[in-house]
Amino acid sequence: MSLLEIKNLSLSIMGTPILKNVSLTVNTGEIVAVTGESGSGKSLTALATMGLLPKGSTTTGAIQLNGQDLLTTSETDLCKIRGNDIGMVFQEPMTALNPVQTIGAQVAETIRIHGTMRKSDAMMRAAEVLTRVGLPQDKFPLSRYPHELSGGQRQRVVIAMAIALRPKLLIADEPTTALDVTTQAQILDLLADLARDYDMGLLMITHDLAVVSDMADKIVVMRLGEVVEQGETKSLLSNMRHEYTKMLFAASGHQVKLPEIPPSDALLSVRNVVRDYKTPRKTVFGSTGTFRALKCVSFEIRRGERLGLVGESGCGKSTLTRAILGLEGVQDGQITLDGDPVFMGKKPNLAVRRKMQVVFQDPYGSFNPRHKVTRLITEPFHLLETQPTPDERTLLIAEALTAVGMHPSDADKYIHEFSGGQRQRIAIARALIIKPDLIVFDEAVSALDVSVRAQILDLLVDLSAQYNLTYLFISHDLSVVRTITDRVLVMQHGQIVEQGVTEQVFTAPNHPYTQELIAAAPVLPDLEHLKA
């Protein structure tokens, strides 16, 4: 008998069918990865297993844990199973912990509600579990609050809560999506170790195929609420049968060919830029400290060049972006675009600002939902000295929308009428509309599904050829940076530790940090090699 057996699970929420006849099994000690794009129903499959479906859900089929059907188990009994027999780790470690309780109390809670252990004993056990997940007591005492920990450390606390009672099954829903590559690698190792040590079944939900093929014993591919293909990792990868699986893998490793750029002079020049932030006082009357977010950063972007910027969170990528865009002043050094300083005295230089545009990560949060697309994409016009006439406006809107593969008639719609990928196209149209000299893409494809991401990358290549785009592409996703940029900067602790031609940096990294980053990034297996 399998540890977890989902048989013909169908789910509908408020009458809308979500899952259709999903079947899968997880055996003791086995790592099963469920993968697919957003809306495939992978997270809801996990929540159904936990018995934590949203209100208005109706299910048919069976979810058996060691033979017990969880769908027919009462809520009271499910409460005894959750945390005890099944543990769950969630995607967003920054918000998954209660901000007003110490980490010790939160881990101990799992232990206490399932037993009669005294508080002091439960705290001791919590300390052991936290040590096991890599948070030793001398550095991370039980009295720490979540806000005092980094994202990776918080995810370790969430894992500690999930495994405190050594459940038979651990469900991890996108456990590393919000984390940096090196942290991701550590958390994945930890999960795999725990599954092996405790002989747990691990049901891993992830959209990242590189992660899937790296660690899973079995892969389940889902699409629109259905399982389209499943099997042992190696045999599935070497012999993909379903078109969707093939498409997913192709899109994940999607490579583009950037048009050649003729040699030209520098467009953006960043010289010895220093940015300090004040840190809070440590004692009552102590003085404020300073944190140097950018330490003498210098680089150039030539006209027509596509430059990548990689590094982990907190390395200064965002600070650098804000400085380049003139949103924040710098303490020392100078940033110029076409020879004009981005900052004039204490004020941003508007003449320069209108030559730069930015595309942000979140296609859902970066638009005002109450405005029509016309208004949204013409926002950069306020930077211009002379406003276009109404006729010119219409023409420019149509041109920008067509350039990103949308229809001019989309201008009269509201943003909620579009999918994530379409929204990101609109965001690019907004950046293109005043024909800027430089576009900054700040994690612009990170929130997108692989197939959509592949389309946006293709779009960028088209636009590069058409408009001779110059851009700075900031991303934590190394595989994307590798294909979409000519040159790359690697940033660590506010410094650029390595820069060079992208392909060279990736094939022969010089700096130890670059080597570490590249080694930590999960890579898709070579399918040809697998088949052989």
Partner 1 sequence: MIRYTLKRLTSLFISLAVASMLIFFVIEVAPGDPASFMLGINAQPDTVAALRAELGLDVPKFQRYLVWVQGMLTGDFGMSYTYRTPVSQMIADRMWVSLPLALYALTLSTIIAFPAGMYAAARRGRAGDIGVMGATQLGVAIPNFWFAMMLVLIFAIKLRWFSAGGFAGWDKGLDAVMWSLTLPAISLALPQAAILARVMRSALLDVMNEDYMRTARAKGLTTTQTLWKHGLRNALIPVLTIIGLQFSFLLAGGIIIEQVFYLPGLGRLVFQAISARDLIVVESVVMLLVFAVIVVNFAVDLAYAAVDPRLRART
Closest CB to partner 1 among 83 and 363? 83
Contact yes or no for 128/159 (Cβ under 8 A): no
Report how far Cα 505 is from the mean position of its chain's Cα atoms. Answer: 23
Amino acid present at 79: C
Helix (H) / strand (E) containing 155: helix 151-163
Give me 294's structure tokens.
């950018």
Give me 115's structure tokens.
């037993």
Closest CB to partner 1 among 277 and 381? 277
The rounded distance, in Å, linking the Cα atoms of 67 and 70 is 9
Which residues are CB-neighbours of 260 under 8 A, at least 6 positions away?
Answer: none
Contact yes or no for 426/373 (Cβ under 8 A): yes
Give me 104's structure tokens.
């010790």
Closest CB to partner 1 among 286 and 390? 286
- Chain position carrying tokens 């002379």: 386
Q: How far is the CB of 169 from partner 1 (least distance, A)?
A: 12
Q: How far is the CB of 293 from partner 1 (least distance, A)?
A: 19
Angle of helix 119-132 versus helix 151-163 axis, rounded to 10? 120
Give me 51's structure tokens.
């018995």
Closest CB to partner 1 among 262 and 280? 280
Q: How far is the CB of 231 from partner 1 (least distance, A)?
A: 29
Q: How far is the CB of 106 from partner 1 (least distance, A)?
A: 8
Closest CB to partner 1 among 1 and 284? 284
Contact yes or no for 459/405 (Cβ under 8 A): yes
Q: How far is the CB of 118 from partner 1 (least distance, A)?
A: 18
Q: How far is the CB of 465 from partner 1 (least distance, A)?
A: 43
Closest CB to partner 1 among 90 and 418? 90
3-state secondary structure of 63: strand
Q: How far apart are the first and last CA of the chain?
A: 34
Q: How far is the CB of 6 from partner 1 (least distance, A)?
A: 18
Residues that bind partner 1 (CB under 8 A): 50, 52, 75-76, 79-84, 87-88, 90, 92, 95-101, 109-110, 113-114, 145, 147-148, 158, 161-162, 280-281, 284
- The DSSP code for 408 is G
Closest CB to partner 1 among 78 and 256? 78
